[in-house]
Amino acid sequence: MRIAVCPGSFDPVTLGHLDIIDRASKLFDKVIVLVSFNANKSRAAFTPTERMETVSYTHLTLPTSDNVVVDCYNGLLADYLQKTGANAIVKGLRAVSDFEYEFQMALANKKLYNDAETVFLTTTGENMFLSSSVVKEIASFGGDITGFVPKQIQSKITDRLYKPANNIDQ
């Protein structure tokens, strides 16, 4: 059985993530969407439980959701792969700027666990600019995030992040 892990912070999940998950589910027998922890990102907007719930809820809207499950792991990705018998890590690549970091991660994961093969899927043109950080920035100013994230979670994101700035000195 070919099992792939799609890891990420998913803070929050975007339509770009869902596109990669959807396409991975057509390539592998089973896909585990893994809410993981990025040591370089200090403060998340959503708790791990919220991130898992949001991914679970929205991935059910995908036509290919039958072989997709959601999990959360606070540890090394390489250890998770070994523990679950997964053999591939699927990551989305948006631009050349993503590549250096992702390439380094792929090599480190393979060094930690030799069976860990990283598969890169290129993002669709329309999602090239899209990231959780961009979504959070727009939402924090009350901007429209339609078309960036699943419609079912738009208000949850805006409610959490929008802080009207009445006084620029505060």
- Active-site annotation, residues: 17, 41, 94, 132
Residue 25: CB minimum distance to ligand PNS, A: 18
Task: Check binding of 76 to ligand PNS (CB under 6 A).
Answer: yes
Q: Name 31's Cβ contacts closer than 8 Å, sequence gap at least 6.
A: 3, 4, 5, 6, 21, 24, 25, 67, 68, 69, 90
Quick one: 28 or 113, whose CB is closer to ligand PNS? 113
Quick one: 118 or 124, whose CB is closer to ligand PNS? 118
Task: Check binding of 38 to ligand PNS (CB under 6 A).
Answer: yes
Q: Name 84's Cβ contacts closer than 8 Å, sequence gap at least 6.
A: 3, 5, 32
Which of residues 105, 119, 121, 134 is near ligand PNS by CB under 6 A? 105
Can you state the angle between helices 15-27 and 48-59, rounded to 10 degrees?
Answer: 60
DSSP-H helix ranges across 9-153: 15-27, 48-59, 77-84, 96-112, 132-140
Which of residues 4, 9, 33, 150 is near ligand PNS by CB under 6 A? 9
Task: Check binding of 95 to ligand PNS (CB under 6 A).
Answer: no
Residue 54: CB minimum distance to ligand PNS, A: 14
Which of residues 7, 12, 16, 150 is near ligand PNS by CB under 6 A? 7
CA distances from 150 to 3, 57, 83, 160 (A): 25, 10, 31, 16
Radius of gyration of the chain (CA): 16
Which of residues 26, 27, 29, 41 is near ligand PNS by CB under 6 A? 41
Residues of this chain that interact with ligand PNS (CB under 6 A) are 7-9, 36-38, 41, 76-77, 105, 108-109
